[in-house]
């Protein structure tokens, strides 16, 4: 039960090609020592945003004050504000100089469910972290945590030796560019995976 036996991901894990890092984050556990207690979640859905040549990646618009983080140290958090009310959480990837990141789209609540419920009332437990905006809201992550080191002592990622049996891919969600790239990765056996309501219902039927 001790967290001691779990292997924490180091910076070298993130300092690799983004399309390798994104699927490998599935089944890993993100741990956050939040002000309201320890939060743990199992990652079940990610997306790769691969550098200046990926039209969907923020870095494709060029290096700006906001995107400078993407070009820097891998293993940092890139958190941005979107649609006037939500935040999206990313793991910065690839070596210094290459601007890329992995968006965390969905996870399963493991510890700190009561805190998540306070942040996202009305949601059933399995949907508390189902979607990038909802994940940040339930975890209490905002731009205040932008640039935090994800290999530090406040927030980190653990490999608990669990395999994800069925990794599925699809085009990335909510973007209008580069939709041919199937750079969304998810655990096909998790009901916490985000999706448009239609496909989610179909998924539940298949699983039932």
- Binding positions for DNA, rule: CB under 7 A: 47, 49, 56-58, 61-62, 64-67, 78, 81-86, 88, 90, 101, 103, 120, 122-123, 131-135, 172-177, 194, 196-198, 201
Q: How far is the CB of 205 from DNA (least distance, A)?
A: 10
Three-class SS state of 52: coil
Q: How far is the CB of 49 from DNA (least distance, A)?
A: 4
Q: How far is the CB of 17 from DNA (least distance, A)?
A: 16
b/e per residue 133-166 (b: at least 16 CB within 10 A): bbbbbbbbbeeebbebebbeeebbbbeeeeebee
Nearer to DNA, 3 or 82 (CB): 82
Nearer to DNA, 8 or 66 (CB): 66
Nearer to DNA, 153 or 198 (CB): 198
Q: How far is the CB of 40 from DNA (least distance, A)?
A: 19
CA dihedral for 54, 55, 58, 62, sign (positive or negative): positive
Q: How far is the CB of 88 from DNA (least distance, A)?
A: 5
- SS3 of 67-126: the string is HHHHHCCCCEEEEEEECCCEEEEEEECCCCCCCEEEEEEEEEEEECHHHHHHHCCCCCHH
Alpha-carbon gap, residue 50 to 53, rounded angstroms:
7
């Amino acid at each position: 039960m001790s967290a001691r036996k779990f292997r924490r991901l180091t910076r070298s894990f993130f300092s690799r090609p983004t399309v390798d890092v994104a699927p490998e984050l599935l089944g890993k556990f993100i741990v956050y020592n939040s002000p309201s207690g320890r939060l743990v979640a199992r990652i079940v859905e990610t997306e790769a945003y691969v550098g200046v040549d990926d039209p969907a990646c923020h870095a494709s618009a060029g290096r700006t004050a906001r995107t400078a983080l993407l070009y820097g140290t891998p293993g940092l958090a890139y958190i941005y504000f979107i649609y006037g009310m939500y935040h999206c959480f990313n793991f910065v990837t690839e070596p210094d100089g290459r601007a890329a990141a992995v968006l965390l789209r969905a996870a399963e609540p493991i510890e700190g469910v009561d805190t998540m419920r306070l942040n996202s009332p009305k949601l059933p437990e399995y949907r508390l972290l189902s979607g990038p905006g909802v994940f940040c809201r339930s975890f209490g992550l905002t731009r205040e945590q932008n640039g935090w080191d994800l290999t530090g002592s406040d927030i980190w990622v653990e490999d608990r030796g669990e395999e994800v049996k069925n990794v599925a891919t699809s085009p990335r969600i909510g973007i209008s560019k580069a939709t041919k790239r199937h750079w969304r990765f998810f655990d096909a056996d998790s009901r916490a995976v985000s999706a448009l309501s239609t496909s989610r219902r179909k998924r539940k039927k298949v699983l039932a």
